[in-house]
Amino acid sequence: MFKIKLIAVLLVLGMLSLLFGACTDETSQSTSTVEGVNFRFLISDDVNAIDKFSSVNVTISKIGLQKGDESGNWTEIKVDTEVDLKPLVGENATEIWSGNLSPGKYTKVFIYVTEVEGILSDNVTTANITLPSSKLHISKPFVIAADNTTNFVYDITVVEAGKSNKYILKPQIAQSGVNQKFKIKEQGNDTGNKPEKPGKPEKQDGKGNTDKYNGTIDNATGTSWKVYIKGKIKTVDVSDALIKGEPDPGDQVKIEGVEVDGIIVAYEVEVKEPETD
């Protein structure tokens, strides 16, 4: 009888150990408490085309955050780090910076990317990955408090443009923000760097790989729009674009993006209603 009770107790303890062990591996709160730190910035990767790669190394020079709604109220933080997206699928994330920022509401987050290198799953072939811009932009409001730690997960991913064997690095807005579940996957980081003096973001060296297009909306249903550009109907993929304004047929648009196999993959779209007399 004693042996049966002992076995039962050991089984219960074992189950509790597994349960608590699993819980400590995952953070699902938008805020936590890390001593001396009120903000953590993490990078994650949505699945998409990552299975075709053995590694996708993204070099990030700095991150930028806009406080409030005024375009000039920016803080930039140097990180100078390289992140491999391959192990960061699902809820896996790596911290690239933690420290203290001015408490308040923030509305936009940029990451400045200087280089992307992808090696396909044969471990030999280098893939052609297009970087739409030298900075990747997400507009998603969040609040940093003085007395706890805000965890911001920035999800970026590699998508294939059709079946062209060409790839694009894009931010994933839906999987980014402060309410994302994540599991820490260490890769090395720049924990504790002090933010640079707040101000206007610097221009990056080079012009990036984006083009700018002006056109008129023919159809803006779903995420695949039809837009008149220079007298021709073009397909514009806006699935992960930052869209400013409400699109309707006849509206003028300014598009920043990259054209791959005849489809413009939009990074940012500004909609302007036609002027009336």
Task: For residue 247, give the nearest of 227, 275, 267 by alpha carbon.
Answer: 227
- What distance in Å separates the CA atoms of residue 86 and residue 100, rounded to the nearest whole number? 29
Q: Write down the pLDDT at residue 254.
A: 93
Print the SS3 string covering the chain.
CHHHHHHHHHHHHHHHHHHHHHHHCCECCCEECECCECEEEEEEECCCCHHHEEEEEEEEEEEEEEECCCCCCEEEEEEEEEEECHHHECCEEEEEEEECCCCEEEEEEEEEEEEEEEEECCCCCEEEEECCCCEEEEEEEEEECCCCEEEEEEEEEEEECCCCCEEEEEECCCCCECCCCEEECCCCCCCCCCCCCCCCCCCCCCCCCCEEEEEEEEECCCCEEEEEECCEEEEEECCCCEEECCCCCCCEEEEEEEEECCEEEEEEEEEECCCCC
Selected from 2.40.50.140, 3.40.718.10, 2.60.40.10, 3.30.342.10, the CATH number assigned to the domain covering 211-272 reads 2.40.50.140
Q: Write down the pLDDT at residue 21.
A: 40
Q: Write down the pLDDT at residue 210.
A: 57
Q: Where are the domains of the chain?
A: 31-184, 211-272
Rounded to 5 degrees, what are φ and ψ at 31? -130, 155
Average pLDDT of the chain to the nearest whole number: 78
pTM confidence score:
0.66
Q: Write down the pLDDT at residue 13.
A: 45
Q: Write down the pLDDT at residue 60.
A: 94
Q: Write down the pLDDT at residue 152.
A: 94
Q: Write down the pLDDT at residue 19.
A: 41
In the predicted model, residues of the chain with pLDDT beneath 50 are 2-3, 5-26, 28, 197-209
Q: Write down the pLDDT at residue 180.
A: 87
- What distance in Å separates the CA atoms of residue 197 and residue 120, rounded to the nearest whole number? 40
